[in-house]
Structure 1
Amino acid sequence: MTYFKTFIAAALATTTVAGTAYAEELRMSWWGGDSRHEATQAALQVCGEALGHTIKPEFTGWSGHFEKVATQLAGGTEADIMQINWPWLPIFSENGDGFADLRDFSDTIDLSQWSDEELDASSRNGALNGLPASVSGRIFFFNKTTFDKAGLAIPTTFEELMAAGPVFAEKLGDNYYPLEGIGLDASLLIQMIVTQQTGRSFINPETNAVQWSQDELQAGIDMYQAMVDNHVIKGWPERAAQGNIALHENADWTSGQIAGSYQWDTTFFKISDPLAEGQELVPAGLLRVAGAQNDGVYRKPSMVFSISANSPNQQAAAEVLNCLLTQPEGIAAMGSARGVPSSDVAAAQLLADGGIQQIQVDAQNMVMSANAPAISPFNEDPDVRAGIEDTLELFAYGELDSTEASEEILMLVNEALEDK
């Protein structure tokens, strides 16, 4: 995959808005918070004026948005343009015909602004069902201030991270840890480890079949437990005893006592802004285990823009999408409301204009340049996630050993995938 390109003048050389269809009245739906709502409405206004179309905004918060879209699609009342969560693609478009094939509009939408891998990840059965608004991936972030205090450099390998645990305990105290990881963070950390060790992702995105053996999964769980035993990660029961507190609200994190996290690159400011004055958080990319076959990066479109398969105004909708994602006026209005844009020209424009900061670009580069096999949208299936995380919690509390936990996870995930 091509990663975020250094800003050069050529990247900003865009074509003018193409000749448009007759003026149409369109609808666009999305979820988000106030900043995303404001930016998207502003972008629809400028693109509508440039193209001669009217676009009615329909926006909500995250809660209930899946149910809303599902109901609309079932009744054929969905908006012309929709922001769709990437894992919903196989649910709403099993065979690729649930949304319009955007390759049919390649003379209108500048698809060259996305890599082949990004477009393939948003395709179903060969049909391009959505354009990635942004791509997100998991990398390590470390508190440089705390590592400096411990007399350690930022880890570059898993071996160095493992060695940091005892040093933290000896030099800083028992409540200092190089990393945190329970729940989803623990699940994805184990998946990174096993992907590196085996060279295969958990679920094959082509066949929807689990690709790991019980022994391979058990080895990843055992390595996670070794991190707990080695004072690298605070144990699940101890962390849970603090309450269901988000990382950025956890006093141990904001004070620097927890000095690292395996997080989405797009969360940088969310987790760095609450740090106490003088604390410096830095992105560190992926750490490889010994004998790793790849970086094990867990990378996915965070969301995509799709066009309704039932829309009578698909050409006009394609013109609007092109404006929002590849044209200067749309890019400027949308800004970074959905993270660092996947569109190369949009990312270059925002970096040049100060709409995104260099450290966001650095973190995104780490995600995009890392290598690993593609992941399946079914990794994000609620039943798949629950099967992994609930079982890992039982393991962490000593109710299952690693053999039993790996067997239980595979059984539950295979059950969840049976009807997919």
Structure 2
Amino acid sequence: MKMKWVGVWCSVALFSILALSGCGGTTNDNNSQGASGKPGDKVTLRFSWWGSDDRHKATLAALDKYMELNPNIKVEAEYGGFDGYEQKLKTQLAGGTAPDLIQVDQPWLFDISQQGDVFVDLNTLKDTVDLTQFDNKFLADYSTVNNKLLGLPTGIIGMVFYYNKDLFTKYGIPEDTKWDWDNLLVYGKKVHDQSNGKDVLMNIDPNLATELVRYYVMQKTGNQFVKDDYTLGFDKTVAVEAMNYIKKYLDAGVIQPFEESTAFSNKIEQNPKWFKGEIGFTMNFTSNIPVMKKDITFATDVTASVIAKDAKRTAVDTRPAQIFAINKNSKNVKESAKLMNWLLNDKDAATILGDVRGTPASNSSLKVLTDAGKIEPSIAKGTEIALKTSGGPLNGISSNAELGKIRLDNIQKLAYKKATPEQAADELIKNMNAKLKELKSSQ
């Protein structure tokens, strides 16, 4: 079993894998010294991340081990939830108060890099960070901007359907179903009608609904949602089709009403219907499986997310779980690089951290966990499925936060019946084109 996973991982890796200048002076300390410049001086590093309690506990334990091995290093941990993290980080980078080592969500790299040169190019630290443990193509696709390697992936994640096996059995839904846009409607309506609305096939909150729209558009056209030249990768006809599917799902009770799901965006584990077993599946990243399965009593498994029968590309997301990046304004770049390298590549670190950041992207850490049988089976299976169905990397401009807000506002108007599919499509195109014109002119 272990050898099979390693083999699959390696074969998939062959084809798919796996600013601000800061206020004040930049001290790129590439010597094994503290800020005072003397070897062995006490060095304090700030390290920030977001995550679940399990991730916090594991990361804190790893940092304790690192400080035990390196008595001259003190690591100050700055951690919390995902909400608000991005804006706080951007504010810190703008004000020159950002931590030394920073966990960054990969889609943010494009926006942050447009603001200035804020992260260290890790190509300049090859003597400290072992880049050979990572797939070169994966680093080029997901961590490199303007030929600079801005960070290293903590793990590999992919978007899958994480499903309730018991609910599938209850309603006679074959577990080997290849989900497309039409059978989602058929089975979703069946679940809703037979349960009189008590059960629901899909947990799709407003944020995930915007992803469904993106999936539909990319599968239909084969294009990026937004092309590299800042033009849309779709026309009104395709946009209306996508909106119609979302409306059908909402009207037929295929997905949980937004009035109920909005409060649990990005945290399905807190959704009462989920842990009561009243939801068939959610679309989510594999790294969130440990949190989603906590405290539930029903059996679960993973399968591929929705892919049109005639899809020109799958649009399925596979990307780094997160990125570890080094603040270019850090006074201890070298020591930050050493900590990064240890967290990502060291055997002790791999054993302590496990898969709290998804399937490790580092070959050495992946081997440690695989040999020890410490990778959650659902995460391993889900990552394998996502890699096999991957739509390739999403380009930077499609991940722009301001464009994402336009998509979210648009899908909410549709859901709350303030716009028809045609009106929603018109407004989406109009508002996105206006924002793209603004973004392009600022380059």
CA distance in 1 between partners of 2:127 and 2:299 (Å): 46
1:31 alignment partner in structure 2: 49
Q: Residue 149 and residue 129 in structure 1: after superposition, are their counterparts in 2 closer, same or farther (change >3 A)?
A: same
Q: Please, which runs of 5 or more residues in structure 1 have no aligned partner?
A: 12-18
Contact between 1:109 and 1:319, CA under 8 Å: does it hold in 2? yes
> Paired residue for 1:414?
433
What value does the CA root-mean-square deviation take over the aligned residues? Answer: 3.1
- 1:56–1:69: structure 2 CA closer, same or farther, 3 Å change rule? same
Displacement, 1:209? Answer: 4.1
Structure 1: distance between partners of 2:261 and 2:98: 43
SS in 1 for 2:302: strand
Give the C-alpha shift of residue 356 in structure 1.
Answer: 2.9
Q: Kindly indicate whether residue 372 of structure 2 is the aligned counterpart of residue 353 of structure 1.
A: yes
The residue type equivalent to 1:106 in the other structure is K
5+ residue gaps, structure 2, are: 11-30, 34-38
Structure 1 residue aligned with 2:104: 84
Q: Kindly tell me: are residues 368 and 96 of structure 1, through their superposed partners in 2, closer, same or farther at Cα, counting changes over 3 Å?
A: farther
Q: How does 1:292-307 map to 2 (within 5 A)?
A: 292-307=311-326
Q: 1:195 to 1:316 in 2, by over 3 A?
A: same
Name the structure 1 match of 2:305: 286
- Counterparts in 2 of 1:93 and 1:242: CA distance versus 1, 3 Å: closer
**Structure 1 residues 126 and 229: alpha-carbon distance in aligned structure 2, compared to 1, 3 A threshold:** same
TM-score normalised by length of structure 1: 0.84
Amino acid at match of 1:305: F
Shift of 1:101: 0.8
Is residue 101 of structure 1 aligned with residue 100 of structure 2?
no
Q: Which residue of 2 aligns with 1:332?
A: 351
Residue equivalent to 1:217 = 239
Correspondence 1:251 to 2:272 = yes
State the alpha-carbon separation in 2 of the partners of residues 65 and 355 from structure 1: 29
- Are the aligned partners of 2:192 and 2:254 in contact in 1 as well (CA < 8 Å)? no
Aligned to 2:16: none
- The corresponding residue for 1:191 is 214
Partner of 1:262: 283
The DSSP-based 3-state class of the residue aligned with 1:93 is: helix
- 1:309 is paired with a residue whose SS is coil
How many residues align? The count is 402
Query: Which of 283, 293, 300 is 1:272 aligned to?
Result: 293
Structure 2 residue aligned with 1:316: 335
| Residue type of the alignment partner of 2:48 | W
- Could you tell me how far apart the structure 1 residues matched to 2:139 and 2:72 are? 27
Residue identity over aligned pairs, in percent, reads: 24
Distance in 1 separating the partners of 2:236 and 2:124: 43
In 2, the alpha carbon distance for the partners of 1:23 and 1:243 equals 51
Aligned equivalent of 2:5: 6
Closer, same or farther: CA 291–329 of 1 in aligned 2, 3 Å? same
Q: What is the Cα deviation at residue 117 of structure 1?
A: 4.1
> Are residues 1:203 and 2:221 paired?
no
Match of 1:160 among 183, 187, 212: 183
- Letter of the aligned partner of 1:137 in structure 2? G
Q: C-alpha displacement at 1:102, in angstroms?
A: 0.6
* Residues 1:281 and 1:324: Cα distance change in structure 2 (over 3 Å): same
TM-score (norm 2): 0.80
Query: Which deviations, in whole Å up to 9, do the C-alpha atoms of 1:237-286 show, x marking residues without a partner?
Result: xx5158734533333333333212212222223223343x3x22211112
Partner SS, residue 154 of structure 2: strand
What is the rounded CA distance, in whole Å, between the counterparts of 1:254 and 1:49 in structure 2? 40
Aligned mates of 2:77, 2:292 — CA distance in 1: 29
